[in-house]
Structure 1
């Protein structure tokens, strides 16, 4: 969670919220929904300790279609996340050529993934430690720097603005369920996962709140909205221009690290769905030397590169948030079937996901709904749908 999202999501969210109070309220609302989602994911992961996340939970708790829809929403939402991460690299590294840098980043990391190179646990710790150090420097510079607010603190708080901002900020929280999706690799998942997820979420929220307050103190919501690289501009406005290259380096490292993991995760979900017959089976091929789903990785890389070349970062964030909110909506619906004391929180999470999804910018909602509709149609004709004959076995239905 503590990665590239915080470097880029504050700008679009501030534009939607319209005021400092609205932005901070939206951050709290996004955290509440994320907490409900995290709890649902943790409960489900403890009961179904299999890799795959809501793709597995929806299938097991609600039926094959809902598992498929969760997987489809994950693929399309996280593909947009990949584009947003690539555009973050461009915005901080070379703003005038942001799209070209974004495409180059996607090509380079797709090549790295193709050869089976992954982030080690040690590298992940180093990246997170570096990002936290950069964010601490941003907070310190802003709080100790210019006492004024460049553009004012904004106007009236509206419910629609807060909900839209919360939906956009939800993009920055994505990541807490990564623990749950690795259920097969965690020791004692029934005990470890329910503790790890809320702890990670709480720490990330504290960091985000500090950074948001600090950035608002020097730029205000309008300044954040106008900036393609809000944290770099925040330290510049605070009179600490020497920190701008440091902040840019932190954003680039965080975004590249996130992009590497995201491309890997999306390609593995594509692999699983192709094996189940929900996507073209050719995408399930595994490279004989590098032992990676090379066709899935190339397909994901190509789509991400096209999106990064044609979309802006705000549109990519909105579209990503829509897909991910649908994904977690299905997770909460799955958790509701477990009963017990967590049922009420699952309903809160489901309602929260729905409210934030429909409050996103209209273009993101329309595009997201259209892509989901394409997925539903594809499910209806896919060989993986229960009751359809399995390939190579005419007349024999899939179990």
Structure 2
């Protein structure tokens, strides 16, 4: 397969998956409730922590530029059993994060856009419809999916920059900005604000880190295009790092503008859609609604990319005969040249997760919490693997941490330990149950897989790119399945 993609393609995938519009619209209300306006200052620290992880992933991508990133890296460096575990956890993450992203549209934006009262019932129905539409697009055409994403990323860049600039400009000239509000705790007590909390309770400021930890994830998706990117060992690390930095800077400016304006807008703390409420109050109904439409497009695109990533992961593991129902899920539809069965499976899983969480009055908090916990586990496992095996890794082909390797690894480890400790808070019981149930199901299947085939049969997967397999299947005269080989 020809290497046709350049820096912007890699950057747009990383930027589109992260989607600050999605993350901030999803989590801002929770931050106000648990940490107050001052909680936005956890964002820059979170960006630094996630940047350290992006640097480690960049070093891995430069050494092993293979589509599949963590699943492939861990399989080759540590072993196929650990690679399978990483792949299964990634599947659990992609399943819940697409629901969290799409639920954001239904619960935080559309009620403000169309002026109706959001309920758990209508949020469920709308989210289910969005998930279905994204799945249909992914199933119908991979090329169309990428075109929609590229257009949406451009819309997100234009929309978020314009939205931030207008909030500052209009807010300044109308006197609706109060920068002292950035340092207030709101309804959260000042006493013990920066404390670490107790055994089952995280401190108020610690909980604010979830804003950045949930938002700045998915940058590693650029590594999944490694085998179709020009000079991937140089381009992909650069794209991931620049995506984190640009999203971090733009996201913080947006948070400052929203929070400063929120002080002069009545009812923000009680609003179920605080970001949308502030935008409409400051910019007016017409301009506010236009920009909210752009935000909806951005969030829809984010969910689309996640659906595509989940489908590709299920197909890749099925192609390697390592996923439940691999004979069915590893097939390519002869007309669409897409893994149709895998796409339908991912859609069904998303709908089941939605059904489980949507009955809760704090469904959005539970969803984004689970979608923050799982990538933290994935990142921790990958960073630990890199630290343990760094001296035996292949030589870098374009990007290296050099003398900064150890400091970056220490920073990433400290950040990940701190982030995971936040989830000792009792409010995260639901996300932990989700993680444990999915891991339990995966553990049972892995045990059966080993018992039936033996550890020796789970050899290292060959370097196989999903896109190449799809293209080969599309040009094949007949068939409908593509099974990977092992070595």
C-alpha deviation, 1:110, in angstroms: 1.1
Indicate whether 1:118 and 2:187 are aligned. Answer: no
Indicate whether 1:386 and 2:458 are aligned. Answer: no
Which residue of the partner structure matches residue 335 of structure 2?
289
C-alpha deviation, 1:202, in angstroms: 1.0
Which residue of the partner structure matches residue 261 of structure 1?
305
Superposed, which structure 2 residues align to 1:320-335 within 5 Å? 320-335=371-386
Indicate whether 1:338 and 2:397 are aligned. Answer: no
- Number of aligned positions between the proteins: 390
Query: Aligned equivalents of 2:418 and 2:182: distance in 1?
Result: 32
CA offsets, 1:81-127, max 9 Å, x none? 11012111212124342221111111112112111131227424433
Indicate whether 1:357 and 2:420 are aligned. Answer: yes
Query: Aligned equivalents of 2:279 and 2:62: distance in 1?
Result: 43
Indicate whether 1:375 and 2:432 are aligned. Answer: no
Q: Secondary structure at the match of 2:332?
A: coil
Q: Contact 2:182/2:256 (CA < 8 Å) preserved in 1?
A: no
1:372 to 1:277, Cα distance in 2 relative to 1, 3 A? same
1:316 to 1:115, Cα distance in 2 relative to 1, 3 A? same
Stretches of structure 2 that go unaligned for 5 or more consecutive residues are 1-17, 112-117, 197-201, 392-401, 460-485
Q: Select which of 173, 180, 202 maps to 2:216.
A: 173
C-alpha deviation, 1:186, in angstroms: 2.0
Query: Aligned equivalents of 1:211 and 1:385: distance in 2?
Result: 53
Which residue of the partner structure matches residue 395 of structure 1?
none
Superposed, which structure 2 residues align to 1:87-98 within 5 Å? 87-91=103-107, 92-94=109-111, 95-96=118-119, 97-98=122-123
Q: Contact 2:171/2:261 (CA < 8 Å) preserved in 1?
A: yes
Q: Between Structure 1 and Structure 2, whose CA radius of gyration is higher?
A: 2
1:13 to 1:62, Cα distance in 2 relative to 1, 3 A? farther
Query: Aligned equivalents of 1:101 and 1:232: distance in 2?
Result: 18
Query: Aligned equivalents of 1:262 and 1:129: distance in 2?
Result: 19
Q: Secondary structure at the match of 2:138?
A: helix
Superposed, which structure 2 residues align to 1:219-230 within 5 Å? 219=262, 226-230=270-274
Query: Aligned equivalents of 1:223 and 1:57: distance in 2?
Result: 48
Q: Contact 2:96/2:350 (CA < 8 Å) preserved in 1?
A: yes
Q: Contact 1:30/1:166 (CA < 8 Å) preserved in 2?
A: yes
Q: Secondary structure at the match of 1:74?
A: helix
Query: Aligned equivalents of 2:374 and 2:95: distance in 1?
Result: 10
Query: Aligned equivalents of 2:318 and 2:268: distance in 1?
Result: 41
Q: Select which of 121, 131, 146 maps to 2:159.
A: 131
Superposed, which structure 2 residues align to 1:133-148 within 5 Å? 133-145=162-174, 146-148=176-178
Which residue of the partner structure matches residue 211 of structure 1?
254
Superposed, which structure 2 residues align to 1:50-129 within 5 Å? 50-91=66-107, 92-94=109-111, 95-96=118-119, 97-116=122-141, 117-120=144-147, 122-129=150-157
Query: Aligned equivalents of 2:213 and 2:31: distance in 1?
Result: 10
Q: Secondary structure at the match of 1:119?
A: helix
Q: Contact 2:63/2:233 (CA < 8 Å) preserved in 1?
A: yes
Q: Contact 1:150/1:223 (CA < 8 Å) preserved in 2?
A: no
Q: Select which of 30, 48, 58 maps to 1:32.
A: 48
TM-score (norm 1): 0.88
Query: Aligned equivalents of 2:270 and 2:286: distance in 1?
Result: 21
TM-score (norm 2): 0.73
Which residue of the partner structure matches residue 226 of structure 2?
183
1:240 to 1:141, Cα distance in 2 relative to 1, 3 A? farther
CA offsets, 1:6-29, max 9 Å, x none? 22222223333x1333x2332123
1:58 to 1:214, Cα distance in 2 relative to 1, 3 A? same
Query: Aligned equivalents of 1:389 and 1:205: distance in 2?
Result: 40
1:389 to 1:9, Cα distance in 2 relative to 1, 3 A? closer
Higher alpha-carbon deviation: 57-66 or 44-53:
57-66
C-alpha deviation, 1:318, in angstroms: 0.5
1:389 to 1:169, Cα distance in 2 relative to 1, 3 A? closer
Higher alpha-carbon deviation: 45-54 or 175-184:
175-184
Which residue of the partner structure matches residue 298 of structure 1?
344
